[in-house]
Structure 1
Amino acid sequence: MKLDVALAVAQGVLAEGQTRHFAPLTVAVLDAGGHTVVLLRSDGSSLLRSQIATGKAYGVLGLGFGGRELAARAAKMPAFFDALIELSDGRMVPVPGGVLVRSADGALLGAVGVSGDTSDNDEICALAAIEATGLVADAG
């Protein structure tokens, strides 16, 4: 994912959160290889939000489907997901708010993770920002 696109998505997430009067958000945008391209936080975003947002994005990249699907599977197979979290050195957070980013032709570009409000609200902001850039969001 190119820096300018990642930055536009991250800024879009924060703007969407402000428009909706959500709690202060933190957003991580990772490329398809799991490298952080952009990490932004709103003023007042709490201490662990950077790690949580990154973990949401990392988890969806690691398994290849969105955070909503990760959460559903984690609820059905908690022991398996405990193992996955251990295998990823604790870097995976299997809840909504992690969204895969794809090009119009379906190519995986990276992932967005958002943390700060409820997981559902975090996901709303990610979806809106990704779609506003003309990319395809996959929340699972």
Structure 2
Amino acid sequence: MSTLTLAQANTLLAAALAAARAAGHAPMAVVVLDEAGHLKAAQREDGASMFRIDIATGKAWGAVAMGASSRVLAERAKGNPNFFTTLADTAKGRFLPQTGAVLIRDGSGRLLGAVGASGGSGDEDEAICIAGVAATGLVAG
């Protein structure tokens, strides 16, 4: 049974932030959570605002909790806003269904965790998450 290692999480963080720098994005924060939604690793770049870690965590926590990328959750929330508002309340504010987080899976499809980013647009945040996961040899979902 595979688990997400600290080494993989750190590789993912470094690659995601490198992708953000290469693309010229604003300062970012990236958070990696394990399959139970617990913090594995996090970094906030110099100049990133104080809320970035919290936002990245909320995106990743929602993704791992619901088993879907935050993009998918944002789309679902449009059609059922009351349910998603209730989810956010139930999760004591930890749930943020906004684009910018993806699931992390191993080669057999087993859920290992999620990575979320904050600092750019949702599309930019998601793209650096995907780049980070790819650098680990794992699968973004």
TM-score bin, normalised by smaller chain: over 0.9
Is the Cα contact below 8 Å between 2:11 and 2:135 reproduced in 1? no
Counterpart amino acid of residue 46 in structure 2:
D
Structure 2 unmatched ranges of 5 or more: none
Aligned-residue offset at 1:95 = 1.0
**Counterpart position of 1:83:** 86
Partner residue of 1:70 out of 73, 78, 95: 73
| Helix, strand or coil at the partner of 2:68 | coil
Partner residue of 2:121 out of 105, 113, 118: 118
Structure 1 unmatched ranges of 5 or more: none
Distance 1:64 1:130 in 2: 16
**Counterpart position of 1:92:** 95
Matching of residues 24-63 of structure 1 within 5 Å: 24-63=27-66
Aligned-residue offset at 1:111 = 0.4
Q: Does 1:11 align with 2:31?
A: no
Q: Root-mean-square deviation (CA), in Å?
A: 0.6
Distance 1:108 1:63 in 2: 11
Distance 1:11 1:60 in 2: 21
Number of residue pairs aligned between Structure 1 and Structure 2: 138
Query: So what's the TM-score if we normalise by structure 2?
Result: 0.96
% of aligned pairs identical?
Answer: 43
Matching of residues 128-139 of structure 1 within 5 Å: 128-138=131-141
